[in-house]
Structure 1
Amino acid sequence: MGVSRFQGSRWCNVSNTENKVYLKNAYRVLLTRARQGMVIFVPPGDAGDSTRPPEYYDGTFNSLRELGLPKIDG
């Protein structure tokens, strides 16, 4: 899977290597700074919404679950 960023009303692929490294590191920093009470929200995929393709969001959700993150129903 490539690196994407949200711009305006759509996802854009990031092709510049330096920008890819920066974005990946930014997410890594955000995820490692939360020590207690962190919640990761992954919206459900929606085939009718081009910004939420099911194969992307559902795949992300399933990957996090496989890593052992619990699902919080609410």
Structure 2
Amino acid sequence: MEVAVAAVSPKAASLRFWYGASIADFLESNAEKIVGQLTLNSSFDIDRTQAAAWLVQIDFLQAQVNGFTGSIFFEFNIPRMGRRIDVVLVIGPVIFAIEFKVGEKTFDRSAI
């Protein structure tokens, strides 16, 4: 199942995700352009550490999803929980919820 994703207005209150695309479009996209869209749709100021983490995530995922059909969403808002998942990847009937910890040395329960 591929989801067509249209451009969204920055910082929209009801935005479910900050970046979304078909896997094919994601693979063709430049990482800096994706980070730009994530930054525009963010509800807060993005620091260099966050932008660098997104670049690592994008690079990793572009290497892993090649050959698959589906959709990918970054910074996906979980309804009624007030939290976000780093990446939601939809391939066929399977939904992957992926949480990255780029550069972290320890992990606590609140990070999951």
Query: Which TM class, normalised by the smaller chain length?
Result: 0.3 to 0.5
Structure 2 length-normalised TM:
0.24
Greater helix fraction, Structure 1 or Structure 2: 1
Whose RCO is larger (CA < 8 A, sep 6+)? Answer: 2
Structure 1 length-normalised TM:
0.32
